[in-house]
Amino acid sequence: MPISDDLRFVLENSEILDEDELALLAYYFSQRSAIPRQRRHWMQPMFASREEGEFRKLYPLLRENTDVGKERFFDCLRMAPTTFDYILDKVKYRLEQHSSFRESFSPEEKLFTTLRFLSHGASYRSLEFNLRLSHQSISRIVNDTCQAIWDVLLMPTVVSQWSASDRVADRLTAASFLIRS
């Protein structure tokens, strides 16, 4: 970044300025350089046409209830449709967002995007062209979805964390007693 003549003068003559003047000039230059640049688009035109992306075009074809559809579903997401539905059912409530401002991403789209990223090892930049989503959106979707999967599907490490912990603990105690006997 080139230094302006004004700033060069201030830096060269800083020993003759007192602390208040230096602080005032530093504030002036920080405000002058912090002018935000004008955005060209609210949303890039390529991403405005999400209907053209992989999820809107490919996902319905993969969900067809045929042997070819199931095989291609596995090729695309590296899991069976029943497994996808199971995971979706578990994390759907964590991924739902309701907005009247603009159309939000559906839980199916979030899970599809995350599984495409994880199963194929593609970068956010390469996925943005296929899915017609910005790499920032893909990054947020993948992080949120992975966190939801982790929170919901993680096996508890302590017996007291399990749902219906008393019954589970009783069964485990009884089972371990029977095994030891």
pLDDT of residue 109: 92
pLDDT over 60 at 138, yes or no:
yes
pLDDT of residue 181: 42
- The amino acid occupying position 66 is T
Phi and psi, residue 21, nearest 5°: -65, -40
Tell me if the pTM is above 0.75. no
If one compares 25 and 123, the residue with the highest pLDDT of the two is 123
pLDDT over 50 at 121, yes or no:
yes
Helix (H, G, I), strand (E, B) or coil at 32: helix
Euclidean distance between CA atoms 82 and 73, whole angstroms: 10
User: 10 Å Cβ neighbour count for 100?
Assistant: 5
Helix (H, G, I), strand (E, B) or coil at 66: coil
